[in-house]
Amino acid sequence: MRKSLLVLGLLLAVSACKVNPFTGQKTLNFYPNSQIFPTAFAQYDQFLGENKVITGTSEAHMITRVGQRISAAAERWLSANGYPGYLNDYKWEYNLVEDETVNAWCMPGGKIVFYTGILPITQTETGVAVVMGHEVAHALADHGAQRMSAGTLQQIGAVAGNVAIKDDKALNLFNQAYGVGSQYLGMLPFNRSQETEADRIGLQIMAIAGYDPYEAAELWKRMKANSGGEAPPEFMSTHPSNDTRINNLTVWAPEAAAEAAKFGVTSFK
């Protein structure tokens, strides 16, 4: 049983690699779009049905406008770099939901929600574009499917240990160590790397869409001020620290501007 689980895990890890077009790197992903997208779309519709969606306002129109511009920029980049049709299964949707939470999120396949609580921090259309670029990037890079794949392997490892270890005391120690170790040394760093990747990809596509990439660091300075310094240590978080993001985005902004120039975009909103 233990060997079977280990073999299954290895087969999944080896056979389920998909290339991220923006980085050229292979990623762990054994959930095809045809399997994950319909579920994500249904969950998104359910969420909208249970929450107050803002429509017809200037802010709601802005969310849609920015989302359309950035997803179109992503399609331009993908087509120009040898990935035509990459987005054929995506069903982009951008909704503003009344909620004081400072957040926005994206489900697999391009289903995006902005909460009204984040708008005082984004402040401008360019600020919205920073957040939108990041969320669109999560969808483009299949981060949701990757997290599910990593979670499956984590579960296989736990089951294998429980099958193999017969001594109750040793099993208890294993479960404690495995739970903490796989979380802090595996899942959390994995999630932070996805957030960092989404920041970098998002910066490029917002610039191609005509939004100033140099404003991204300014947005995160406002995020930091809004948090009041209350955040867990980075190693305990699913996200990079505000300071890490500010530093990264400052360094990457010239690269994003140079990428936008390849598409004839040399001035920004």
Q: Which sequence positions are flagged as catalytic?
A: 135
Q: How far apart are CA 260 and CA 50, in angstroms?
A: 39
67's CB contacts (< 8 A; 6+ apart) are 92, 94, 112, 132, 136
HEC string of the chain? CHHHHHHHHHHHHHHCEEECCCCCCEEECCCCHHHHHHHHHHHHHHHHHHCCEECCCHHHHHHHHHHHHHHHHHHHHHHHCCCCCCCCCCCCEEEEECCCCCCEEEECCCEEEEEHHHHHHHCCHHHHHHHHHHHHHHHHCCHHHHHHHHHHHHHHHHHHHHHHCCCHHHHHHHHHHHHHHHHHHHHHHHHHHHHHHHHHHHHHHHHHCCCCCCHHHHHHHHHHHHHCCCCCCHHHCCCCCHHHHHHHHHHHHHHHHHHHHCCCCCCCC
